Structure 1
Amino acid sequence: GVRPPRVRVEARSVASYLESAAGGVDLAFIDPPYDLGEVELARDLSLLAPLLADAATVVVERSSRSPEPAWPDGIEPERRRDYGETTLWWAAATGPDQPAPPSQPE
């Protein structure tokens, strides 16, 4: 039968989690605090890119006053939607040319 998805709570920084995460991410919804700097968001997106499955979707929520995220190789922006003070940016994994996930120590 179909198993329910597993959920795990990680009490650590996004960067710390992504540096040790396994790949195969189909959907990433990134909702950082609005005061998170663009450099930190770019770092997190760069760490996420090699973990994305083919055809994965990435959604980033930001303040409407924030610039478009700096998309790393492996993530291609698709659209933007504004909702008052909030902007949602949709992007997609670039597919077969996407970087391979880092190998995990055994």
Structure 2
Amino acid sequence: MRIITGSLKGRRLELPRNLKARPTTDFAKTGLFNVLQNLVEFNGLKVLDLFAGTGSISFEFVSRGASSVTSVDIEPAHCKAIQQNADRLELKQMRVLRRDVFAFLESPGGQYDLIFADPPYDMSGAEQLPDMVLQNGLLSEGGWFVMEHSSRVSYEEHPHWNQTRKYGSVAFSFFTLEEEA
């Protein structure tokens, strides 16, 4: 797995073969970041990556200039792989937390400019994530919440939904608290 663009473009992430994570494809990641570049300024961005898995989304944000990226995952092997890659690439702006995401969201200890979540598609309770994120004061003013999910699921009826982009079986839904996004 490689980093697509930015200061770390082309660098490979070293991952154990038995990692249980479902990594976001390069095709979907490229589409996601093409949309994001029209919504946010990456330089100085404070990012929270929930269900971080391989960490590939976290590394893409760092590569594009995010000043702080917090990666949260409950799986020890995922956290270890992310931390080892961050150490190998000498990325001081990354923080890896081994926590249950739902427990973390109850007391996150700060605000973020962008929150990304990629829960397992079949996870019970995943549909509650937009409300949990948007109602708990986690987003800074003008911030965005982006959720990766199956393209068969729709969040268009959510009051803070802004748009959904589909890339094959993968979809990204974008939410904001701003009225005029």
* TM-score normalised by length of structure 2: 0.43
Task: Tell me if 1:31 matches 2:118.
Answer: yes
Task: Tell me if 1:65 matches 2:152.
Answer: yes
Task: Tell me if 1:43 matches 2:136.
Answer: no
- 4+ runs deviating over 4 angstroms: none
For the aligned residues, what is the CA RMSD? 2.4
Q: What SS class does the counterpart of residue 140 from structure 2 fall into?
A: strand
Query: Where do 5+ consecutive residues of structure 2 fail to align?
Result: 1-43, 45-66, 69-92
Q: Aligned residues: percent identity?
A: 30
> For the structure 1 residues 86 and 27, does the alpha-carbon distance in structure 2 shift closer, same or farther, using more than 3 Å as the test?
same
Count of residues paired in the alignment? 88
TM-fit CA distance, 1:20: 1.5
Task: Tell me if 1:94 matches 2:178.
Answer: yes
* TM-score normalised by length of structure 1: 0.68
Q: Please identify which structure carries the higher strand content.
A: 1
Query: Where do 5+ consecutive residues of structure 1 fail to align?
Result: 96-106
Q: Distance in 2 between matches of 1:8 and 1:69?
A: 32
TM-fit CA distance, 1:87: 0.8
User: Does the 8 Å CA contact 1:57/1:90 hold for their aligned counterparts?
Assistant: yes
> For the structure 1 residues 79 and 61, does the alpha-carbon distance in structure 2 shift closer, same or farther, using more than 3 Å as the test?
same
**Greater Rg by CA:** 2
Deviations 1:49-101 (A, max 9, x none): 22111110111110111232774x7xx11111111001111111237xxxxxx
Q: Which has the higher contact order (CA 8 A, sep 6+)?
A: 1
User: Does the 8 Å CA contact 2:150/2:171 hold for their aligned counterparts?
Assistant: yes
